[in-house]
Amino acid sequence: MINFILSAFKIIILLGTLVFIHELGHFAAAKLFKIKVNEFAIGFGPVILKKQGKQTKYALRLIPLGGFVSMEGEEERSANEGSFSEAGIIKRIIVISAGGIVNIIFAIIIYFLLVWRFNDIGVAFIAIKDFVVSIFTSLKMMILGGLSAQQMMGPVGISNVVSKTNGIVDFLYILSLISLSLGVTNLMPFPPLDGGKIVLLIIEAIRKKPLNEKIELYLQMGGFSLLILLSLYITYNDVIKII
């Protein structure tokens, strides 16, 4: 029972940290460009804790498997002051990409500190170089199809790996790897991931006008459906590997 509680605690801490870092990237970029953020939430589902700020509602929700930053004019275009849809293309791309980029930077920092702490500064920089190269290698494999769905890991697989960590160093190492994976995956050019949203913004820049809202909605929903199917398949593989 104690082991189960400890494992659950480690999983919640890891997921909560990565989600917070990711959403904080979106939030900070939005604030930088004076885009109104209606809600900053960690988790999904019913609200456990909430605090209304001057402009933003901050909420902790029940299901710790994600989070979101709800910006004015993001889901439905709005001409209101501080609207995301009224911001320039470059600003919107920066806001959307900030979450994944922050996850990658966070992973590099954690990895650097671990290597630096247990090796010398020279070894640390070599290790970081290899770590950064692995980011682009992973991204290339994912885009060109060199990485199969069977090699991917979902929440069940991640939970299993995290539960087996032994000590703070092991936990931080896994934290850095998963943060890297989250950042790279999220920037893939596939809707409804952030990378897919960036592609739509690039198309808007080329056309010099936004896509039809219905077409954009269909693309997002189609991508979301495929993502759900992929997630189910990955989860099935994770369960098979465990049992």
For residue range 222-234, what is the model confidence (pLDDT) as tens digits?
A: 888 887 887 777 7
Range with top average pLDDT, 20-29, 80-89, 146-155, 172-181: 20-29
**For residue 195, pLDDT beyond 80:** yes
The answer to whether the peptide bond before residue 192 is cis (omega within 30 degrees of 0) is yes
**Number of domains present in the structure of the chain:** 1
Predicted local distance difference test score (pLDDT) of residue 20: 94
Give the per-residue pLDDT at 147: 57
The tokens of 110 are what?
């954690």
pLDDT band at 37 (very low <50, low <70, confident <90, very high): very high
| DSSP-derived secondary structure for the chain | -HHHHHHHHHHHHHHHHHHHHHHHHHHHHHHHTT--EEEEEEEEEEEEEEEE-SS-EEEEEEEEEEEEEEETTSSS---STT-GGGS-HHHHHHHHHHHHHHHHHHHHHHHHHHHHHHS-HHHHHHHHHHHHHHHHHHHHHHHHT-S-GGG---HHHHHHHHHT--SHHHHHHHHHHHHHHHHHHHTSS-TTSHHHHHHHHHHHHHHTSPPPHHHHHHHHHHHHHHHHHHHHHHHHHHHHHH-
pLDDT of residue 130: 66
Q: Is the model more confident about 193 or about 145?
A: 193
Joined tokens for residue 65: 């498997």
11 alpha carbon, distance to own chain's centre: 16
| 192: pLDDT strictly greater than 90 | no
pLDDT at 139: 62
Mean pLDDT (whole number) for 144-171? 70
Please determine, for residue 215, whether its predicted confidence score (pLDDT) is greater than 90. no
**111 within 8 A of 132, measured Cβ to Cβ:** no
Mean of all residue pLDDT scores within the chain? 83
Q: Which domain holds residue 114?
A: 2-242
Res 132 pLDDT > 70 = no
pLDDT-based confidence at residue 58 (cuts at 50, 70, 90)? very high
Q: What percent of the chain has pLDDT over 70?
A: 81
Side-chain half-sphere exposure of 118, counting CA atoms within 13 A: 9
Q: 60 has which bridge partners? A: 42, 49
* Lowest-confidence pick of 13-17, 38-42, 143-147: 143-147
pLDDT reported for residue 225: 85
Maximum mean pLDDT: which of 58-67, 115-124, 154-163, 234-243: 58-67
Instruction: Please answer whether residues 53 and 41 qualify as being in contact, where contact means their C-beta atoms are separated by less than 8 angstroms.
Output: no
Calpha distance 152→237 (Å, rounded) = 9
Residue 23 is a catalytic residue: yes
Residues 193/186, Cβ–Cβ less than 8 Å = yes
Between 142 and 236, the more confident residue is 236
- Residue 155, pLDDT score: 66
Q: Is the pLDDT of residue 118 over 60?
A: yes
Distances in Å between the Cα of 186 and the Cα atoms of 34, 118, 164, 171 are: 24, 31, 25, 22
Question: What confidence tier does 108 reach under pLDDT thresholds 50, 70, 90?
Answer: confident
Catalytic residue among 23, 39, 74, 204: 23
